[in-house]
């Protein structure tokens, strides 16, 4: 049974006193989802959310070139969803925003390993 099965037509799926999103919020949310729409970038984000990595390690783990990883990381840094810190000669990338970590966790709990939508718990 899905969560919406017990609702009547027109009843909200989200309850409470949440205000409807503003135009700037909708624009920012759409930009964030667009940023995460690349499978390679999403893989990078998942890795970075689970630890600090340098560009070489990320390239090896994702299976793409260092140059391509660097381009993805630059976009993610400019958008503010990841941060980098210098450690010696390397830059280590991390996700500090708990909302981004929660978003990544939730989507991969919702999608089964075969790519199908995971069943409701």
CATH code: domain of residue 98: 1.10.10.10
Alpha carbon 8 to chain centroid distance?
32
Nearest-angstrom CA–CA distance, 15 and 116: 27
Predicted TM-score of the model (pTM): 0.80
Could you list the residue range(s) of the whole structural domain that residue 69 is in?
37-113
For residue 84, what are the β-bridge partners? Answer: 93
Tens digit of pLDDT for each residue in 41-73? 999 999 999 999 999 999 999 999 999 999 999
pLDDT at residue 46, rounded to an integer: 96
DSSP reduced 3-state for 101: helix
Average pLDDT of the segment spanning 108-117:
90
Tokens standing for residue 44:
């990078």
- Percent of the chain predicted with pLDDT > 70: 84
Would residue 7 count as lying in a domain? no
Alpha carbon 31 to chain centroid distance?
12
Would residue 9 count as lying in a domain? no
Count structural domains, the chain.
1
């Amino acid at each position: 049974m899905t969560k919406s099965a017990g609702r009547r037509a027109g009843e909200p799926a989200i309850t409470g006193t949440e205000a409807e999103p503003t135009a700037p919020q909708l624009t920012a949310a759409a930009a964030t989802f667009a940023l995460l729409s690349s499978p390679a970038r999403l893989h990078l984000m998942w890795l970075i959310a689970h630890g600090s990595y340098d560009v070489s390690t990320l390239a090896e783990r994702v299976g793409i070139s260092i140059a391509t990883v660097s381009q993805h990381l630059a976009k993610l840094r400019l958008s503010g969803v990841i941060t980098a810190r210098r450690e010696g000669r390397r830059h280590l990338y991390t996700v500090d925003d708990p909302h981004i970590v929660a978003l990544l966790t939730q989507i991969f709990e919702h999608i089964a390993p075969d790519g199908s939508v995971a069943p409701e718990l």
